Structure 1
Amino acid sequence: MAKADILNESLWDAYSNKVTTLMNNPQHQGEIFDAEAEDRGNKLIVADFGAESCGDAVRLYWEINPKNDEIVNSKFKSFGCGTAIASSDVMTELCIGKTVQEAVKITNIDVELALRDDPETPAVPPQKMHCSVMAYDVIKKAAGLYMGVDAESFETEIIVCECARVSLGTLQEVIKLNDLKTVGEITDYTKAGGFCKSCIKPGGHEAMDYYLVDILADTRKEMDEEKMKASADAIAAGGGVFEDMTLVQQIKAVDAVIDDSVRQFLIMDGGNVEIIDIKKADENIDIYIRYLGNCDGCSSSATGTLYAIESTLQEKLSSKIRVLPI
């Protein structure tokens, strides 16, 4: 078998049977005309949307019963690739029988899930997901035309991942709640960045206003600032002096300083550190730590790394601090 044939076969294997069937045999492709809709006492809405990333476009027809806002019939015309045809056909099917208010809640993920042969296997390869995400936008346009409002009025949040319909607020909240540190973890928790990947970083299928790499960095910075503030608050609560804090306050203050100034460098080398105990000893405050990962047994853990941790804690908390690895 020629190399080109192997590649083509592999590409086709990445499409679900539903997608390949609807590419060649769409069920709702066609037009609805004003005259026939009027004869049935209904209103016709025609909305167009084009995807700048690939040049695909879709025209959506809604025949709506004005008495109850139900979409009694729907068709589409697609000007693009086979994936765009298949996804437009499923989008149209999902609209039929719903009210306009219900249809506007249909997401691109709903369309992609409806195209799957089984719930766990994506319907299209990631590089073609951007051809399957026109549904939400053209539905918004159709609903806006019918209701006499701007299509953007249906969007109340900043959407970062168009494929999975994940908002900026959701991403920030999930990162904070679960202490996420990588884009991969964000994708695991939210599905953002798991499809066309345009929202991960610049240079994808299309330019975005927000990217996951920046959101992660900004949110992690905000989290670090909040930890430092908590450390300052803990010091204030203890009378402004590290020595006067309770043990719990001291541990929180030490952890906050290490998180802000030390831990990221240890993690970069595959290591980490944890606070085991804090004890007063004559004129000193001894902080017992345990090295983790690559730091455990590293020669620098008893010299340079130890000095960096101790000097940072002395500078930010108390000159009486000694750091003792165990």
Structure 2
Amino acid sequence: MGIDSLVGGTIWDEYSDKVTDLMNNPQNMGDIKKEDAEAMGAKLIVADFGAESCGDAVRLYWAVDPETDVIKESKFKSFGCGTAIASSDTMAELCKGKTVQEAVKITNIDVELAMRDTPDTPSVPPQKMHCSVMAYDVIKKAASQYMNVDMESFEEEVIVCECARVSLSTLQEVIRLNDLTTIEQVADYTKAGAFCKSCIKPGGHEDMDIYLVDLLEEHEKEKMLAGSTLGSTPGIDIDFAQMTVVQKLKATEKVIDDNIRQMLVMDGGDVEILDIKENGINFDIYIKFLGSCDGCSSADTGTLYALENVLQDKLDKNIRVLPL
């Protein structure tokens, strides 16, 4: 399937140029015949894998040097969508020149990253990310045939989603790289949680050691500790002086919410943070009193003093609060 078979322009814009080119011009599509492999002094391996989630299927051909285990040639045939074709083509290319033992370490993350135009921009829409998982699985199938072992012997890590065979490290990396925050996003990117749903949270028909909700919570905690501004509330354990302006504003708001605002609101007032500026060693926080606090004499003395003391105690001793 190529460009002409895709409907609509919005989703099309989410594909990288590499993917759109490989959809219509795959470089490794085809087969390897036994006589071709023998002419290279190689052993022919043919592996099939199908994705029940979307009906796609891929056949992987390897010509492997039996003396060195190096994959001398790699080709594929695919029955599926354009993303499956592009992913399979990239997977076949990544296999070339590697030993079987090296190739089996190629993950769906490696495939997706290789299809990106730029390091920070995903190569396909979230709902098509699972297509690269199939490429990962067929590599293991081919390697298991060549090495005469079971596919599961390559699973060195904990599998969180048994239905989609998604590992703990894969989920952690996908969540981190794409800053995922919901179960729906995780399912779009990896298909984890899209089937029996036992891996989403406790209460399913199977008990799990690790659930997707645990991984999302872990990611949010990591962002908070790192002082990330990607949608999380900044942790006040971070040195105030090292925060960005946005982080300083959020941290200041949090301290006011937790310690001051409720008392002001009870008296019909409030406070608004207008700006934060560095002034030598000091951090000047400009505020405006609202409601009944606006124009109140005690707001400019007692309330202001209390607000400054709390912020100095919770955030930084060099904070000064200045009303406008």
> What interval of TM-score do these two structures reach, taking the shorter chain for normalisation?
0.5 to 0.7
Partner in structure 1 of residue 240 of structure 2: none
2-structure distance, mates of 1:186, 1:113: 10
1:293 maps onto 2:289 in alignment: no
Q: Secondary structure at the match of 1:9?
A: coil
1:210 maps onto 2:194 in alignment: no
Cα–Cα, structure 1 residues 130 and 168, in superposed 2: closer, same or farther, change >3 Å?
closer
Cα–Cα, structure 1 residues 138 and 156, in superposed 2: closer, same or farther, change >3 Å?
same
After superposition, where does 1:107-146 map in structure 2 within 5 Å? 107-146=107-146
Cα–Cα, structure 1 residues 168 and 107, in superposed 2: closer, same or farther, change >3 Å?
closer
Cα–Cα, structure 1 residues 20 and 91, in superposed 2: closer, same or farther, change >3 Å?
same
- Residues 67-87 of structure 1, C-alpha deviations (whole Å, 9 max, x = no match): 100000011000001110011
Q: Secondary structure at the match of 2:44?
A: strand
Contact 1:108 1:165 in 2 (8 A): no
Q: CA deviation at 1:42?
A: 1.2
Contact 1:58 1:77 in 2 (8 A): yes
Contact 2:29 2:76 in 1 (8 A): yes
Contact 1:90 1:114 in 2 (8 A): yes
Q: Secondary structure at the match of 1:76?
A: strand
Partner in structure 2 of residue 57 of structure 1: 57
- Residues 265-303 of structure 1, C-alpha deviations (whole Å, 9 max, x = no match): xxxxx9x999xxxxxxxxxxxxxxx9762564436x99x
RMSD: 4.2
- Which ranges of structure 2 fall in alignment gaps of 5 or more residues? 1-6, 203-209, 218-232, 238-253, 267-309, 311-324
Q: CA deviation at 1:194?
A: 5.3
Partner in structure 2 of residue 196 of structure 1: 188
Cα–Cα, structure 1 residues 80 and 48, in superposed 2: closer, same or farther, change >3 Å?
same
1:93 maps onto 2:93 in alignment: yes
2-structure distance, mates of 1:219, 1:189: 10
Q: CA deviation at 1:39?
A: 3.2
Task: Tell me which amino acid in the other structure corresponds to 2:68.
Answer: N
Q: Secondary structure at the match of 2:9?
A: helix
Q: CA deviation at 1:160?
A: 3.2
2-structure distance, mates of 1:188, 1:73: 36
- Which ranges of structure 1 fall in alignment gaps of 5 or more residues? 1-6, 175-182, 222-269, 275-289, 303-325
Q: CA deviation at 1:170?
A: 8.5
After superposition, where does 1:33-44 map in structure 2 within 5 Å? 33-44=33-44
TM-score (norm 1): 0.56
Partner in structure 1 of residue 160 of structure 2: 160
Cα–Cα, structure 1 residues 84 and 185, in superposed 2: closer, same or farther, change >3 Å?
closer
Cα–Cα, structure 1 residues 107 and 170, in superposed 2: closer, same or farther, change >3 Å?
closer
Q: Secondary structure at the match of 1:8?
A: coil
Task: Tell me which amino acid in the other structure corresponds to 1:9.
Answer: G
Q: CA deviation at 1:135?
A: 1.6
Q: Secondary structure at the match of 2:8?
A: helix
1-structure distance, mates of 2:18, 2:136: 20
Q: Secondary structure at the match of 1:293?
A: helix
Partner in structure 1 of residue 78 of structure 2: 78
Q: CA deviation at 1:113?
A: 0.8
1-structure distance, mates of 2:216, 2:132: 32
2-structure distance, mates of 1:114, 1:212: 32
Contact 2:159 2:165 in 1 (8 A): no
- Residues 243-282 of structure 1, C-alpha deviations (whole Å, 9 max, x = no match): xxxxxxxxxxxxxxxxxxxxxxxxxxx9x999xxxxxxxx
Task: Tell me which amino acid in the other structure corresponds to 2:199.
Answer: Y
Task: Tell me which amino acid in the other structure corresponds to 2:146.
Answer: Y
2-structure distance, mates of 1:23, 1:220: 33
1-structure distance, mates of 2:20, 2:216: 42
TM-score (norm 2): 0.57
Q: Indicate the structure with greater helix content.
A: 1
Partner in structure 1 of residue 321 of structure 2: none
Q: CA deviation at 1:130?
A: 1.3
Q: Secondary structure at the match of 2:53?
A: coil
Q: Secondary structure at the match of 1:117?
A: coil
